[in-house]
Amino acid sequence: MKKSSMQMIRKAEIKLGRKFSKRSIIFNVKKAVRVTELGDGFARFQFSAVTVAPFSFLTTTINGNGYNLISGSWIFSGNQQGYLLDNYSAAEDRWYFTAWNPTAVSRTVTYAVIAKVKP
């Protein structure tokens, strides 16, 4: 997790007077629940929804295996606040997300990546 993201979480913990819990998961494109071929070796991979507990954050790593990951996207459920603190390429074949749920309600987050077959 980026240092700036960790600082933001610490400030919120102090402000709210509570500690946020952390959980990490790892996906790979072979376990995607939906794959959309886009042509010329490109594809969109969507993953199953993951629950983010109240007052917690979740780090997710997606491994591309035989694909180079180009872009990552996400969507939170519900209308309450929810933040994606990190959304970046950690390597050619790895994408990294940090989802933060500062509310008292469990939320789900769904991820998708765009990838191209490695040459």
Nearest to 27 by CA among 46, 54, 10, 2: 46
Rounded Cα distance, 57 and 55, in Å: 7
117, containing H or E segment: strand 107-117
pLDDT digits (tens, 9 = 90+) for 60-107: 999 999 999 999 999 888 777 788 888 889 899 999 999 988 888 899
Round to the nearest angstrom and report the end-to-end CA distance of the chain.
29
Which of 19 and 37 is assigned the larger pLDDT? 37
Rounded Cα distance, 79 and 29, in Å: 29
Rounded Cα distance, 111 and 119, in Å: 25
Give the chain's domains with CATH numbers: 3-117 (2.60.40)
Q: What is the mean pLDDT of the chain?
A: 87
Please give the single-letter amino acid code of residue 10.
R
